[in-house]
Amino acid sequence: MVNGYAAESLQQALDILVNTDAVPYAGGTDLMVENRPDVKYLFLKKIPELRAITVDEQYVHIGAAVTFTEAIANPDVPKLMKEAITLIGSPAIRNAGTFGGNIGNGSDKADSVLIEFAADAKICLVSQAGERLVDVAHFYLGRKKLDLHPGELIKEILLPRYGLEQYTYQKVGGRKALAITFVSFAGVFQYFKCAMAGLRILRPHLGQPGTPSRDIRILKRCFL
Ligand SMILES: Cc1cc2nc3c(=O)[nH]c(=O)nc-3n(C[C@H](O)[C@H](O)[C@H](O)COP(=O)(O)OP(=O)(O)OC[C@H]3O[C@@H](n4cnc5c(N)ncnc54)[C@H](O)[C@@H]3O)c2cc1C
């Protein structure tokens, strides 16, 4: 039996987090596999502040407890992210699995995190002291190493609204469905007139556990 606390607001969740040893639990698709005995969980799925997808001028804000299925159906989520998360697990995993859980698990094979790196996304963290915004590359420090302070929750992922339209993405797994990534690649290109102005490439999972390797090149006046 799974024990824990079902928070109904962000404030309530943060109170529980500082006053107990509860482990944040979103979709449970990673945690259920770990099957830790005697752990109490803090259930996040009913917290409205973590469940929304909103936009401002610069960013699409994806709540940490938004599932992959919900994001695929949302018109504001960039196509590049949709392409990657459509390949995650199976329909059942996509119905339960969340963005916060994907990065919160600290796996170097997390498919949405690759896109967050390629997009220069930001992660919004929240605690009783308030919110802090960090670049994904500063938050995700390596396999199972996150810059997540005690008492903090991942609140949302901020993906740039513009500049991700031209990209290439490839995931290579061991089979067509339910495939954990062996190697994947995301490249984002920006063109101005007939010049390629910027190219960001990310090639994680080359057999080395740890932080996705990142190769950024800004190509000025590289005519096609
Ligand atoms: C059969 C199967 C296939 C899978 N296939 C893929 C795949 O193809 N690609 C892929 O990337 N992943 C895959 N996964 C892994 C998993 O589904 C994803 O990592 C998913 O995004 C986890 O989300 P969740 O909500 O279920 O996380 P949970 O299991 O609820 O949590 C995972 C971790 O994140 C922490 N956490 C969750 N939310 C927060 C928060 N808001 N703040 C702080 N910490 C938080 C939890 O404490 C825990 O440590 C697969 C898993 C299974 C079982």
DSSP 117-146: HHTT-EEEEEETTEEEEEEHHHHEEETTEE
Instruction: Please report the pLDDT score of residue 172 as a whole number.
Output: 72
Structural tokens at position 103: 């990065």
* Domain map (residue ranges) of the chain: 3-160, 166-223
* Closest protein CA for atom 12 of ligand 1: 110
Give the Cβ contact number of residue 214 at 10 Å. Answer: 13
With beta carbons less than 8 A apart as the criterion, state whether 114 and 202 touch.
yes
Structural tokens at position 52: 């929304």
Helices (H) and strands (E) in the chain, counts: 8, 15
Distance between Cα 96 and ligand 1 center (Å) = 9
Distance between Cα 28 and ligand 1 center (Å) = 7
Instruction: Please report the pLDDT score of residue 192 as a whole number.
Output: 61
Q: What value does the CA radius of gyration of the chain take, rounded to a whole number of Å?
A: 18
Model confidence, pTM: 0.90
Instruction: Please report the pLDDT score of residue 82 as a whole number.
Output: 97
Task: Tell me the best of 9, 30, 181 to mutate to test the pocket of ligand 1, counting ligand atoms within 8 Å of each CB and taking the most.
Answer: 30
Distance between Cα 216 and ligand 1 center (Å) = 28
What is the position in ligand 1's atom list of the atom closest to the CA of 31? 29
pLDDT in 10s for each residue of the chain, 224 residues: 568 999 999 999 999 999 999 999 999 999 998 878 889 999 999 999 999 999 999 999 999 999 999 999 999 999 999 999 999 999 999 999 999 999 999 987 889 998 998 888 999 999 999 999 999 989 988 778 899 999 999 999 999 999 899 888 888 776 666 767 667 778 887 766 555 555 555 555 443 444 555 544 433 333 33
Contacts 24+ apart (CB under 8 A), 161-166: 161/55, 161/57, 161/58, 161/59, 161/60, 161/76, 161/78, 163/188, 163/190, 164/78, 164/79, 164/80, 164/81, 164/119, 164/188, 165/78, 165/79, 166/190, 166/191
Task: Tell me the best of 16, 29, 109, 126 to mutate to test the pocket of ligand 1, counting ligand atoms within 8 Å of each CB and taking the most.
Answer: 29
* Closest protein CA for atom 7 of ligand 1: 88
Residue type, 34: E
Structural tokens at position 16: 């529980």
CB proximity list for 27: less than 8 A, separation 6 or greater = 45, 67, 96, 97, 98, 101
Domain 3-160: which CATH class?
Answer: alpha beta
Instruction: Please report the pLDDT score of residue 28 as a whole number.
Output: 96
Residue type, 63: G
